[in-house]
Amino acid sequence: MVDTATDTSASADRIRASGDSEVATYLEIAERREPGQVLTPAPNAPESVVVLDYGSQFSMLIARRIREASVYSELIPWDTEPEKLNHLNVKGFVLSGGPASVYAEGAPQLPDWVVATGLPILGICYGMQLLAHKLGGSVEPATSREFGHAILEVGEASSDLFHELPGSMPVWMSHGDRIERLPAGFRSIAQSQNAPIAAMADDAGHYGIQFHPEVVHTPQGDQVIRNFLFEVAGCAGDWTASSFVDESVEAIRKSVGDGKVICALSGGVDSAVAAALVHRAVGDQLTCIFVDNALLRLGEPERVVNTFREQMKINLLHVDARDRFMRELAEVTAPETKRVRIGETFIRVFEAEAQKLGQVDFIAQGTTYPDVIESASTGSNAAAKIKTHHNVGGLPKDMQFTLIEPLRNLFKDEVRRVGKELGLSDEMVYRQPFPGPGLAIRVIGEVTLDKLDVLRRADWIVMDEIKKADLYYDLWQSFAVLTNTATVGVQGDYRTYGHLIALRVVTAEDAMTADWARLPYDLLANISNRITNEVPEVNRVVYDITSKPPGTIEWE
């Protein structure tokens, strides 16, 4: 571990001795720094390493890799104010890659305050260039760009970053610019064929690497990240599902006091885990409200009531709001309008139910990290908005409850671990995700009761066959989509003009990327046969072979 206070001034002396005037700002900042001056973590704030987002498609993966090493991490826009980090005990920063060039007009910058904390910094790709640029080095367009696999030669000068790693290893590169001149106080610690300075370090815990350690194509990337966390930043690595539960329970208790909480229960993993967590924190102060919005899968309402009311002994209200949702969705065809209408109606139904419960102060929801990022509500101006996930963007502005989102910073696999920690069954915790707007975004075009009925029966067959084939838990999601295309068929010697069902079956690690599952042909044949036989309104079944990107998992 680096003693950053001492080493920063040692490094400053060296920089001063080099007489480089461009680094004056860095020196001033570093010397003005007093411990605790820049960041003031709240008591008991969890140890964390913050990823500053410069718009790379892999930014989120970096945070994920850090958490896999049991260190809590959040991805935040690069221009976030330091005051927004007081809920964290920051041990270091990672600067993500990004599409910009450091010299381009309006290129995202490395904020002064980050350097002024004196904490370790790991710049990845654009992040490395930014660090070099900020501290007085120079970055130029490379004569030949480097995309894809490369071999990294770790130099003689060993460094904590490459602790226990071989002298030569495969890495994944994706850069056009490269470091031409190191900032004073830095040394090159690795090279590749097209980047003589493929990694750099100073003695103050500042590191830059041109390759991407977060992607699977850098097989030893995990070790590089772990080295930064434990050898450089001195993290303890004690962030686990159980510490998360303890911290959350405490935080929920504190913010709820003796208030009343209702929870939007959909039957999916996320809301189930959120409910269980809030129940652990405040017990009977929680009432779960399960709204039948007419957009649920076959048998789902009965399953939810049984699990939560009978098994988990949680207060549960079962509200039949099917007519109201169908009225709101009448003639709506635009996916985003569906989401917003459903989100708003959801909350209105809650409000009505809540009134019956007397004073209700909070609403708990199972929003997870991918929901937040995909709705681009981290505030990062680098990420593009893909869809409004209804439990984030669709909330009405005049909502009367304070929102509790205990899973807001968790990836799906982390949500599952927390669910297990809370004692939920495998069946509940490992079930495939189901979107908040339900079947409405799987009926393409206008949603009607008839179409929902067709989709529900087809969807049930997909699930049944997938389970029988023992593939349910290996797949991220497997479901049917009712397209708004009618096709001609021949069924029982008659011409039919019926519905086209699309199968969407994907594998994924998290919902940020996905691939279509290579299902056995016989299984596809069974599903198709059963649907066209058992759901007579359907005369054709197709299989969606699109990965994400470019497609999304849901069709709308």
Catalytic residues: 125, 212, 214
Q: Beta strand 168-181 with 138-154: parallel, antiparallel or unpaired? A: antiparallel
Is the Cβ of residue 64 or residue 548 nearer to ligand XMP in the bound state? Answer: 548
Instruction: List Cβ<8 Å contacts ≥24 apart for 13-16.
Output: 14/184, 14/185, 15/135, 15/136, 15/183, 15/184, 15/185
Distance in Å, CB of 511 to ligand XMP, minimum: 4
Is the Cβ of residue 124 or residue 349 nearer to ligand XMP in the bound state? Answer: 349
Site string for ligand XMP, 398-427 (x = CB under 6 A): ------------------------------
Told to check if 226 binds ligand XMP by CB under 6 A, we report no
d(CA 226, CA 10): 26
Is the Cβ of residue 374 or residue 414 nearer to ligand XMP in the bound state? Answer: 374
Which range touches ligand XMP (CB under 6 A), out of 44-52, 204-212, 240-248, 435-443? 435-443
Site string for ligand XMP, 307-346 (x = CB under 6 A): --------------------------------x-------
Site for ligand XMP in 344-403 (CB under 6 A): 371, 374, 387, 389-391
Output the CA–CA distances (angstroms, integers) from residue 11 to 18, 45, 249, 531, in the order listed: 11, 30, 43, 69
Distance in Å, CB of 514 to ligand XMP, minimum: 7
Sheet holding 168-181, edge to edge: 72-77, 47-53, 89-95, 121-124, 206-209, 195-201, 187-192, 138-154, 168-181
Site for ligand XMP in 33-92 (CB under 6 A): none
Q: Which runs of E-coded beta strand occur in 301-456?
A: 316-320, 362-364, 402-404
Cis upstream peptide for 550 (omega within 30°): yes
Do the Cβ atoms of 554 and 512 come closer than 8 Å?
no
Does residue 17 sit in helix, strand or coil? helix
Told to check if 478 binds ligand XMP by CB under 6 A, we report no
Told to check if 456 binds ligand XMP by CB under 6 A, we report no
Is the Cβ of residue 433 or residue 489 nearer to ligand XMP in the bound state? Answer: 433
Told to check if 499 binds ligand XMP by CB under 6 A, we report no
In the list 82, 433, 445, 489, the residue contacting ligand XMP (rule: CB under 6 A) is 433
Contacts of 408 (CB under 8 A, 6+ apart): 367, 368, 369, 372
R_g of the chain, CA atoms, integer Å: 26
Is the Cβ of residue 173 or residue 288 nearer to ligand XMP in the bound state? Answer: 288
d(CA 33, CA 31): 5
Site string for ligand XMP, 524-553 (x = CB under 6 A): ------------------------x---xx
Which range touches ligand XMP (CB under 6 A), out of 142-150, 433-441, 462-470, 496-504? 433-441
Do the Cβ atoms of 122 and 92 come closer than 8 Å?
yes
The alpha carbon of residue 268 and the mean position of all alpha carbons in its chain are separated, in whole angstroms, by: 17
* Residue owning tokens 């994706």: 174
Is the Cβ of residue 218 or residue 477 nearer to ligand XMP in the bound state? Answer: 477
Q: Which residues bind ligand XMP (CB under 6 A)?
A: 339, 371, 374, 387, 389-391, 433, 435-437, 477, 511, 548, 552-554
